Amino acid sequence: MMQSALPLILLCSPGDKRTAGIQQARSRLGLPPALTVPYGELLEGVPLSELLERQLPDAVLSGALEQSMTGIQTAGPTPERPERQRTEGRTLLRLESPGGSFALERALIALGAPDAGEQDDSLHPFGQQHDPYPLSVQAAGQLKELPGVLHHPSQWFRGYCRLLARVQWEASRILPAARWQNHPGDIAAMTDKRRTQQLLAAAGVPVPRPLGGAQPPADYESLRGLMLSERMHRVFIKLACGSAASGVIAYQINPATGAELAVTTIGVEQYITRPPVYYNSGKLRRYTVSSVLSGIINWLYSHGAYTEQWIPKAGSAGVSFDIRQLVVLGEAGHSAARVSTTPITNLHLRSKRMTPAEAGLTDEEQHQVRRTAVQALSAFPRSAIAGIDVLVSSGSSRRTYVADVNPFGDLLYDVEYEGCSTYEWEMKKLMEHRIISS
């Protein structure tokens, strides 16, 4: 079975936890290891074809190419959801998280530079908007690794979208019959919270109400104006392309006293002679001084930010939680309640993890969470897998809302479903749906 030798190609950082998890899952299931295409070399400009040829015997690649010549035409630049026929042996391309190393971050910021040559911004949901104070390729290359520092989020995201566009195009040339597990365009949309929430709302998925509707806030002044005029006194402001708790602020105005309060992981280093440096702090900070707050908030909006109603989350005894729910091909699998004593529940902020039942959700509420998560992924019809963050509101109504769709939200340690790790379960489902072959 020549085709079965190339069931899965991973674009990834080889050796990281995710890649290891996938390879381990495949080995447990008796599947051959996935081929790995390192982001590092892609970003150095090495073509996808060359990176694949290095790992594939010629015959196999030419087999794939030959198959692609006669293959199904759905797998071009905009492939549709996989069809059932003729799926055996077709290559599946899986994009993994581009995070985890400063070298990649720097290379992506360089790729997002205005002088990065002719680039394709078509996957960037708001590509026509300008990034603030852009860094040249050279300046980006000189960035120093400073722990937690948010060097240039919007230019990073532009670079990431360009990389996605490039691999999509290259794959369509050399492996036209191949399919994407999650289409690069969907990944770009999921990575931009503004677009994610638009798509979810358009698909009828319950989401926290966005502040400002079609005229969202663009800076500190308009934020405050809209909060007061819409009587939405408590909001989350989220860096559009932030991952996890990066660039998230829980912000509130007291309409009675005029006081304001922000809880966030964003830390600021102030300088006299140059602009402040913003970084992710491991400790939640509380800001109450307008001059500091306006600086942080304006910086966030300059890089693109999304503002939504702060839904009071369910909880008890001084903690609240949300649910990370894995969805694979329309089916809800692994889940974890992220329980925190703060409004920001991300796991690396020392949140505690529980099962949804331990966190206090009834069977019906758990069912509702799963249904909502499945509905959320279906708003991205070209994607098979995502980790959905679902809130359950406090009070008697206990409604569910989707706060985020994470294309790489399946790294959940020590959570099992149907006796499988997340990656094993994904591989099983992909096989069941004949998207990969054994």
Partner 1 sequence: MTEVKLAVGYNEYEDGQRMNTEIERLSASPEAAQLTSLIIGDWGQAYENSSDEVVEALVKHSGSFPSLRKLFIGDMSYEDCEISWITQTDLSPLLAAYPELQSFTIQGGTNLELSNLQHDKLEELIIITGGLGKKVLSQIAAGSLPNLRKLELYLGVDNYGFDGSLEDILPLIQPGKFPKLTYLGLKNSEIQDEIAAALADAEVLDQLHTLDLSLGTLSDTGAEALLASERIKGLQALNLSYHYMSDEMVARWRKSGLPADVSDQQKSDDDEDWRYPSITE
Q: List contacts with partner 1 (CB under 8 A).
A: 97-100, 102, 105, 147-150, 153, 233, 242-244, 246-247, 252, 254-257, 259, 261, 265, 267, 279-283, 288, 311-313, 315, 318-320, 342-343, 346-348, 393-397, 399, 406, 408-409, 411
Q: Which two tokens stand for residue 72?
A: 């199904």
Spatial distance between the Cα atoms of 242 and 219, rounded to a whole number of angstroms: 17
- Judged by beta carbon, residue 90 or residue 152, the one nearer partner 1 is 152
What is the torsional sign of CA 100, 389, 125, 36?
A: positive
DSSP output for 318-348: TEEEEEEEEEETTEEEEEEEEEESSS---GG
- Judged by beta carbon, residue 3 or residue 281, the one nearer partner 1 is 281
Spatial distance between the Cα atoms of 359 and 379, rounded to a whole number of angstroms: 28
- Judged by beta carbon, residue 320 or residue 383, the one nearer partner 1 is 320
Q: Compute the half-sphere exposure of residue 154: CA atoms within 13 Å on the CB side of its CA.
A: 22
- Please answer whether residues 274 and 287 qualify as being in contact, where contact means their C-beta atoms are separated by less than 8 angstroms: no
Closest CA to 109 of 135, 127, 89, 131: 135
- Judged by beta carbon, residue 198 or residue 342, the one nearer partner 1 is 342
Q: In angstroms, give the least distance from the CB of 148 to partner 1.
A: 3
Q: How many C-beta atoms lie closer than 10 Å to residue 185's C-beta?
A: 21
Q: In angstroms, give the least distance from the CB of 334 to partner 1.
A: 14
Q: How many C-beta atoms lie closer than 10 Å to residue 5's C-beta?
A: 16
- Judged by beta carbon, residue 75 or residue 245, the one nearer partner 1 is 245
Q: In angstroms, give the least distance from the CB of 300 to partner 1.
A: 13
- Judged by beta carbon, residue 127 or residue 148, the one nearer partner 1 is 148
Q: Mapping DSSP to helix (H, G, I), strand (E, B) and coil, where does residue 229 land?
A: helix
- Judged by beta carbon, residue 98 or residue 217, the one nearer partner 1 is 98
Q: In angstroms, give the least distance from the CB of 117 to partner 1.
A: 24
DSSP output for 106-160: HHHHHHTSTTS-S---TT-TTTTSPPSSPPPHHHHHT----TTB---HHHHHHHH
Closest CA to 101 of 32, 164, 18: 18
Q: In angstroms, give the least distance from the CB of 168 to partner 1.
A: 21
Q: In angstroms, give the least distance from the CB of 252 to partner 1.
A: 7
Q: In angstroms, give the least distance from the CB of 398 to partner 1.
A: 9
Q: In angstroms, give the least distance from the CB of 53 to partner 1.
A: 29
- Judged by beta carbon, residue 7 or residue 247, the one nearer partner 1 is 247
Closest CA to 401 of 329, 323, 295, 305: 323
Q: In angstroms, give the least distance from the CB of 179 to partner 1.
A: 25
Buried-exposed string 146-172: b where 16+ CB fall within 10 A, e elsewhere = eeebbbbbbbbbbbbbbbbbbbbebbb
- Judged by beta carbon, residue 67 or residue 340, the one nearer partner 1 is 340
Q: In angstroms, give the least distance from the CB of 74 to partner 1.
A: 32
- Judged by beta carbon, residue 313 or residue 370, the one nearer partner 1 is 313
Spatial distance between the Cα atoms of 341 and 318, rounded to a whole number of angstroms: 6
